[in-house]
């Protein structure tokens, strides 16, 4: 004990610590300690939490367009305790906004802004603006789709500002383009300028608070007490409660990380953080030219009124007016927030009718885009975790090289106009939006699988819309049938007796297995290896054996090439639906090896000189082919079956 006392004495002699500590702890609390005074301390606690977690996040964060998302991914998914750190920082930031609102309400309600505390009220408002600035700049830093596009809206708005708008935007964005320099600037603001301002104003705020003493709501409520221990206890309990809430949110939900920002892929469902949502909704009232009213003039007036509140509140009537204004403000913000949420979720909560069609569709668009973005985010993280990891060019490369993400997009643009992509047995497919109700080409879901080929060799299915019975097909109809349809229907005609039918069906089953093995689908590798015998039999049937079973005495190789080159114009079945076969086929389906002259509209997609025609670069072709073949990275065997085309 005496050693400590010696040190304290020494410090006291030189720095007067005793007096400082006494002043800090034994500050008088007139009317006794109260729960309503805890908000200021809670805010200080929140800020200290943000500073501490922020510094540790800083140690792992790397602000550039090619590393920002990647480093946040690292923090969230690989760094020990990183998710906790980021989660606390994420939720405490939102908690700070809530605490600020409560603190503000309490101060105005209690009239704590009256002389001589006006200046401190003004400093408090400045602190509030600084915190909002911290939130706004922080939202961009993960450089994900959500932050990127939401902040883009914000900076775009800045350019509408009267007089200095364009300059302001240029300053914030760091040039004419929104991108890397925006990120570095926002980071400097978020981790440097704004925290420094916050600390400066916070010190002033607390100094002035100490100077005037606590504004007691009701001096005679209870005997006066001192800050320590009564109020400190209440403050600590409140702070711990808040910390516990933040921890609970972190454990329960965690901070979200969407897919990496992509300037070429606008995210329509981007929304600001929930506490800015009311502004977002408010702006909808001011379309086009009027926007500056919603974005600057009215908010500017509101903020100006806030700053003069202490002077308005000098009289009793003025104070009541302030309280009323505050009520309108918070009530209005709550209403607008609720409205924004309702608009966005309208389609989820209402039936579509004729009257609400436009509203319904806007909401549906939002919900779809959101779902798609969340799906994409999960996938990128899955890829980043794969053994291949994030390449040096950044995580966006993962997005662009992934058949699972790009295949459906390319398909939608280039193929969905004619083809269908639907699982006949499971309408719950992830790519339900690719279903074509009126296809004019075969169904491509599961091409090359045993099941798909078996369907083609089935007399009923081959003339269905899933195969050659699509709308406008030249292959089905009176007399004008192609040889393939004829062949299948005759082979399994009604006249057969049961035994014959069964023998032929078994043969077709083996043929389907053999033909499907040509595709070498990764998802069927196991089955192909297991059924090697059946496949050998199938090959024998295909190349002539079938003829013995059929009345027509034909076999597949009477028309098709398989193994030995035939000079007949039907698709070559060697390597049928393999990666190579499909790439060549898509390049030019009218080639001799494929449909030749029989081709019904299937375009040639290979890059060629004729600019008028459809064409795709090699990379896009590969992405579509890999997607059609369900050949994409999977973290483990047990993936969701509904997302896998090949059973
Ligand atoms: C203009 C309509 C049209 C477009 C666009 C189109 N196809 Fe086709 N495709 C067809 C038709 C019709 C057939 C069947 C033609 C035939 O048998 O002669 C076909 C056949 C195919 C086949 C052969 C398998 C089967 O079901 O018989 C594949 C694979 C295929 N298309 C893939 C694609 C892909 C991938 C795209 C987009 C990159 C695409 N197609 C774009 C019309 C189209
Ligand atoms: C009488 C001739 C003939 C016989 C026999 C025949 N096919 Fe075909 N087959 C065709 C023709 C012609 C096409 C092309 C139709 C078109 O243009 O879409 C075709 C198309 C196909 C296709 C679809 C190719 C594609 O990508 O669109 C497959 C698969 C196929 N045949 C497999 C077989 C198998 C397996 C057998 C034996 C069980 C067989 N064929 C017997 C003539 C025949």
Residue nearest to atom 34 of ligand 2 (CA): 556
**Per-residue pLDDT reduced to its tens digit, 552-572:** 888 888 888 887 766 666 888
How many domains, the chain? 2
Task: Establish how many alpha carbons lie within 13 A of residue 12's alpha carbon, considering only the half-sphere containing its beta carbon.
Answer: 10
- Please indicate, yes or no, whether residues 503 and 624 belong to a single structural domain of this protein: yes
pLDDT of residue 252: 96
pLDDT of residue 9: 92
**Per-residue pLDDT reduced to its tens digit, 118-149:** 999 999 999 999 999 999 999 999 999 999 99
Residue 477 in this model has a pLDDT that exceeds 80: no
Residue 642 in this model has a pLDDT that exceeds 50: no
Nearest Cα neighbor of 118 from 305, 313, 302 is 313
Q: Last residue of a domain, which of 279, 310, 341?
A: 310
- Please indicate, yes or no, whether residues 294 and 427 belong to a single structural domain of this protein: no
Say if residues 148 and 258 touch (Cβ distance below 8 Å).
no
More confident residue, 493 or 317: 317
- Please indicate, yes or no, whether residues 156 and 264 belong to a single structural domain of this protein: yes
Ligand 1: residue of 418, 474, 572 to mutate (most ligand atoms within 8 A of CB) is 418
Give me the CATH number covering residue 168: 1.20.810.10
State both tokens at 104: 């503000």
For residue 353, tell me if it sits in a domain: no
Say if residues 266 and 153 touch (Cβ distance below 8 Å).
no
Nearest Cα neighbor of 144 from 363, 374, 365 is 374
Note the pTM of the prediction, 2 decimals.
Answer: 0.87
Residue 621 in this model has a pLDDT that exceeds 50: yes
pLDDT category of residue 609 using cuts at 50, 70 and 90 = low
Say if residues 342 and 350 touch (Cβ distance below 8 Å).
no
Residue 47 in this model has a pLDDT that exceeds 90: yes
pLDDT category of residue 42 using cuts at 50, 70 and 90 = very high
Cα(56)–Cα(42) distance, rounded to whole angstroms? 21
**Per-residue pLDDT reduced to its tens digit, 148-164:** 999 988 888 888 888 88
State both tokens at 380: 């990128």
- Please indicate, yes or no, whether residues 305 and 435 belong to a single structural domain of this protein: no
Cα(113)–Cα(56) distance, rounded to whole angstroms? 37
Using the Cα atoms of residue 312, residue 314, residue 317 and residue 322 in order, give the sign of their dihedral: positive
- Please indicate, yes or no, whether residues 298 and 412 belong to a single structural domain of this protein: no
For residue 366, tell me if it sits in a domain: no
pLDDT of residue 643: 47
Gap from CA of 445 to ligand 2 centroid (Å): 18
Residue 114 in this model has a pLDDT that exceeds 50: yes
For residue 296, tell me if it sits in a domain: yes
Gap from CA of 483 to ligand 2 centroid (Å): 8
Residue 467 in this model has a pLDDT that exceeds 70: yes
Mean pLDDT of the chain: 90
Q: Is 417 in the pocket of ligand 1 (CB under 6 A)?
A: yes
Residues 6+ apart with CB under 8 A from 624: 403, 407, 410, 411, 414, 415, 586, 616
Q: Is 444 in the pocket of ligand 1 (CB under 6 A)?
A: yes
pLDDT category of residue 640 using cuts at 50, 70 and 90 = very low
Average pLDDT over residues 515-520: 95
Cα(87)–Cα(85) distance, rounded to whole angstroms? 5
CA distances from 317 to 307, 310, 313, 326, 577 (A): 18, 12, 7, 14, 82
Residue 512 in this model has a pLDDT that exceeds 90: yes
Nearest Cα neighbor of 560 from 546, 579, 578 is 546
For residue 612, tell me if it sits in a domain: yes
Gap from CA of 547 to ligand 2 centroid (Å): 15
Q: Last residue of a domain, which of 292, 310, 328?
A: 310
Cα(121)–Cα(463) distance, rounded to whole angstroms? 79
Task: Establish how many alpha carbons lie within 13 A of residue 275's alpha carbon, considering only the half-sphere containing its beta carbon.
Answer: 17
pLDDT of residue 521: 95
Q: Is 598 in the pocket of ligand 2 (CB under 6 A)?
A: yes
Residue 564: is it exposed, middle or buried by C-beta count within 10 angstroms (0-12/13-18/19+)? exposed
Residue 38 in this model has a pLDDT that exceeds 80: yes
Q: Is 484 in the pocket of ligand 2 (CB under 6 A)?
A: yes
Q: Is 599 in the pocket of ligand 1 (CB under 6 A)?
A: yes
- Please indicate, yes or no, whether residues 117 and 239 belong to a single structural domain of this protein: yes
Residue 647 in this model has a pLDDT that exceeds 80: no
Residues 6+ apart with CB under 8 A from 240: none
For residue 18, tell me if it sits in a domain: no
Say if residues 234 and 37 touch (Cβ distance below 8 Å).
yes
Say if residues 82 and 76 touch (Cβ distance below 8 Å).
yes
For residue 204, tell me if it sits in a domain: yes
State both tokens at 283: 């702006």
Cα(626)–Cα(624) distance, rounded to whole angstroms? 6
For residue 395, tell me if it sits in a domain: no
Gap from CA of 620 to ligand 1 centroid (Å): 16
pLDDT of residue 94: 97
Degrees to nearest 5, angle at CA 466 with 464 and 471: 70
CB atoms within 10 A of CB 58: 13
**Per-residue pLDDT reduced to its tens digit, 386-395:** 998 999 999 9
CA distances from 413 to 176, 232, 333, 409, 582 (A): 31, 64, 42, 6, 18
pLDDT of residue 566: 63
pLDDT of residue 646: 46
pLDDT of residue 570: 80
Residue 611 in this model has a pLDDT that exceeds 90: no
Q: Taking the CA atoms of the chain, what radius of gyration do you get in angstroms? A: 35
**Chain-centroid distance, C-alpha 636:** 23
pLDDT of residue 626: 97
- Please indicate, yes or no, whether residues 407 and 260 belong to a single structural domain of this protein: no
Residue 614 in this model has a pLDDT that exceeds 80: no
Cα(249)–Cα(83) distance, rounded to whole angstroms? 12
Average pLDDT over residues 416-436: 87
Say if residues 80 and 56 touch (Cβ distance below 8 Å).
no
CA distances from 401 to 90, 394, 581 (A): 31, 12, 21
Structural domain range at position 194: 33-213+232-310
Residue 645 in this model has a pLDDT that exceeds 70: no
Say if residues 440 and 470 touch (Cβ distance below 8 Å).
yes
Cα(436)–Cα(416) distance, rounded to whole angstroms? 7
Cα(629)–Cα(623) distance, rounded to whole angstroms? 10
Q: Is 116 in the pocket of ligand 1 (CB under 6 A)?
A: no
For residue 552, tell me if it sits in a domain: yes
State both tokens at 542: 């295909």
pLDDT of residue 479: 56
- Please indicate, yes or no, whether residues 557 and 437 belong to a single structural domain of this protein: yes
- Please indicate, yes or no, whether residues 295 and 441 belong to a single structural domain of this protein: no
Gap from CA of 401 to ligand 1 centroid (Å): 23
Q: Last residue of a domain, which of 249, 281, 310?
A: 310
State both tokens at 420: 């269908």
Say if residues 535 and 556 touch (Cβ distance below 8 Å).
no
Cα(398)–Cα(384) distance, rounded to whole angstroms? 8
Q: Is 558 in the pocket of ligand 2 (CB under 6 A)?
A: yes
CB atoms within 10 A of CB 637: 6
Strongest mean pLDDT among 501-510, 542-551, 613-622? 501-510
- Please indicate, yes or no, whether residues 625 and 485 belong to a single structural domain of this protein: yes
């Amino acid at each position: 004990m005496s050693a400590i006392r010696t040190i304290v004495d020494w410090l006291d002699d030189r720095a007067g610590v005793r007096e400082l500590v006494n002043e800090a702890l034994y500050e008088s609390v007139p009317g006794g300690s109260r729960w309503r005074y805890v908000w200021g301390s809670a805010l200080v606690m929140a800020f200290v939490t943000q500073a501490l977690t922020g510094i540790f996040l800083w140690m792992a964060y790397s602000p550039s367009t090619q590393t920002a998302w990647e480093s946040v991914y690292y923090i969230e998914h690989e760094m020990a305790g990183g998710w906790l750190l980021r989660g606390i920082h994420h939720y405490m930031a939102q908690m700070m906004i809530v605490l600020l609102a409560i603190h503000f309400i309490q101060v105005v309600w209690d009239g704590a802004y009256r002389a001589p505390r006006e200046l401190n009220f003004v400093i408090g408002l400045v602190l509030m603006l600084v915190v909002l600035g911290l939130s706004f700049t922080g939202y961009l830093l993960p450089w994900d789709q959500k932050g990127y596009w939401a902040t883009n809206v914000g900076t775009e708005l800045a350019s509408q500002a009267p007089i200095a708008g364009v300059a302001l935007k240029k300053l914030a964005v760091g040039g004419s383009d929104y991108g890397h320099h925006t990120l570095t600037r926002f980071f400097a603001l978020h981790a440097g300028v704004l925290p420094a301002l916050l600390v400066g104003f916070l010190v002033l705020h607390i100094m002035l608070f100490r100077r005037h003493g606590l504004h007691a709501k009701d001096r005679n409520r209870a005997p006066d007490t001192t800050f320590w221990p009564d109020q400190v206890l209440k403050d600590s309990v409140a702070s711990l409660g808040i910390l516990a809430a933040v921890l609970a949110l972190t454990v329960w939900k965690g901070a979200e990380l969407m897919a990496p920002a992509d300037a070429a892929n606008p995210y329509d469902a981007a929304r600001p953080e929930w506490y800015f949502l009311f502004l977002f909704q408010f702006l909808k009232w001011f379309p086009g030219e009027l926007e500056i009213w919603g974005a600057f003039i009215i908010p500017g007036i509101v903020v100006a009124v806030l700053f003069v509140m202490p002077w308005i509140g000098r009289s009793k009537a003025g104070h009541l007016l302030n309280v009323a204004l505050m009520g309108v403000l918070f009530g209005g913000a709550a209403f607008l927030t609720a409205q924004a949420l309702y608009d966005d979720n309208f389609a989820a909560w209402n039936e579509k009718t004729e009257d609400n069609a436009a509203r319904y569709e806007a909401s549906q668009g939002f919900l779809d885009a959101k779902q798609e973005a969340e799906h994409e985010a999960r996938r990128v993280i899955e890829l980043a975790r794969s053994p291949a990891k994030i390449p040096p060019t950044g995580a966006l490369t993962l997005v662009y090289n992934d058949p699972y993400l790009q295949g459906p997009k390319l398909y939608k643009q280039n193929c969905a106009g004619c083809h269908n992509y639907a699982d006949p047995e499971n309408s719950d497919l992830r790519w339900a939006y690719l279903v074509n109700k009126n296809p004019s080409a075969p169904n491509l879901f599961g091409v090359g699988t045993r099941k798909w080929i078996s369907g083609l060799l089935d007399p009923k299915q081959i003339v269905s819309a899933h195969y050659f019975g699509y709308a406008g097909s030249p292959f089905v109809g009176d007399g004008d049938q192609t040889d393939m349809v004829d062949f299948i229907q005759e082979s399994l005609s009604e006249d057969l007796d049961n035994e014959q039918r069964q023998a032929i069906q078994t043969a077709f089953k083996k043929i389907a297995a053999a033909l499907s093995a040509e595709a070498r689908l990764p998802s069927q590798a196991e089955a192909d290896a297991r059924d090697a015998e059946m496949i050998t039999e199938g090959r024998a049937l295909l190349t002539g054996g079938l003829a013995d079973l059929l009345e027509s005495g034909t076999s597949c190789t009477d028309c098709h090439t398989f193994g030995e080159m035939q000079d007949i114009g039907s698709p070559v079945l060697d390597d049928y639906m393999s990666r190579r076969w499909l790439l060549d086929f898509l390049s030019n389906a009218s080639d001799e090896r494929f449909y030749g002259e029989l081709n019904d509209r299937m375009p040639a997609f290979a890059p060629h000189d004729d600019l008028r025609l459809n064409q795709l670069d090699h990379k896009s072709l590969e992405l579509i082919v890999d997607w059609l073949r369900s050949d994409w990275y999977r973290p483990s065997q047990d993936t969701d079956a509904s997302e896998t085309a090949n059973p």
